[in-house]
Every structure is written in structure tokens, then in C-alpha cells.
Amino acid sequence: MNRIVTIASFLVLITLAVELRSGSWQGQLPNYHGSASGTPPLVMKGGDPYIRALMRTITASEANDPQPYTLLYGGQRVRNLSRHPEHCVTIVAGPNKGNCTTAAGRYQFINTTWNEKAMRYHPGPSGFLFWKHYSFEAKYQDAVVYAWLNDKQAWGMDISQKLQQGKLDEVLRKLSATWTSLGYGIEDNVMTPQLPKIYQRMLQEELQGAG
């Protein structure tokens, strides 16, 4: 009996090691990150703590990783963040299985969305006229998403105001068309049910950080 248990335990350990190495347990290890809350802090400094907490919540669902800014879909890394990597990776599960995605970075921007939003919100493009380039460095990933979430016209609502009113569900529902793992989209994952609690932890951290 003990030998059977020992063999079974060994097999479980081997399975866990393989899953951890492959990244299939990504999102199920809340204590793996440097932050006690489970989601790394933003690179950008300052700003509305409610929006900042929301950005970190999006990260928990879309790019749950200690270094999310360099993350490609599937767990690969990109070193050059001078622009969006545009590296198309085959989707291995979910409703879009078999297609490929260029999702990259902390907010898993596909290249077309990044180009569209960067043209509008990027604070530091290089070049001029039709030859502008939009750096994908961490601070710019944050800056573009922060400005986008603060744009009332883009979402048809004042997101910060909704969050201050405690209407997180309404906000997540609105954002789920863009970030499909937020609870009302088509690609929930293991983190999705935890997002309201994660948001509250993020918010407490951000409010404390704001003094």
C-alpha cells in the first residue's frame, strides 16, 4: 500500500513539474509573483489609483506572469520592445484554437489594436507624419492603456467613476469585448472567478501607494 502511495505521489510530482515548465499552470500560483497581491506593480508612476488597480486586474487575467511586459501568447518572451513584436503564435485551446495571435505584453495587445491605440494615446512616438513608430516599452504599454481607460468617449462611460461607485462588474462587462477573459467574454481562465477579489487587493495597494 505504501509503495503504491509513493509511486502515485511520485507521478503527481512529475506531472506538476511538467505543467509548471510548460506554463499550463500559469495563473494558478498567486504567491509566485513579487507582489504579495499576486500581480506585479505597474512601471508607470502616479495616476488614478482606481484605474491603476483595474490595469493590474487585467494583467492578472491576461498576462499572469512575474514579467508581463515581455510576455507573448503561450509563454514565450520578447527581448526587443522597441515596437510591437508582431509575432504570430498558434492558439492551442479555446474558441479560436488553430488560429494565430500576435498578443503580446502586459495587456496582450494584438498588433492591430496596439497600432490603432498607440496612434491615439502613445505619449512618445518617434518619426513624423505617416512614418511614426510607437515603442512597446513597458512604460508605454502602461501609458497607452491608462489613457485609453480614461477616455470616456472610447467606452461610453467614466470608468473611474464607475469603479469609485463600486460597479466593477459593469466595468468588466464593458471591457470583456476587448479583454475576453474578464468574465463576460469568450475565453475565461482559472483567474477569471478571482478577479473581483484581486481588484480589491490591487485597489488597497494602489490607494496606500497614493497616500
Cell (9 digits) for 48: 488614478
Residue found by looking up cell 513584436 in the block:
85
Among 61, 55, 69, which residue's Cα sits nearest to residue 28?
61
Residues in the chain: 211
48-85 confidence digits (pLDDT tens):
999 999 999 999 999 999 999 999 999 999 999 999 99
pTM over 0.75: yes
pLDDT in tens, 95-133: 889 999 999 999 999 999 999 999 999 999 888 767 889
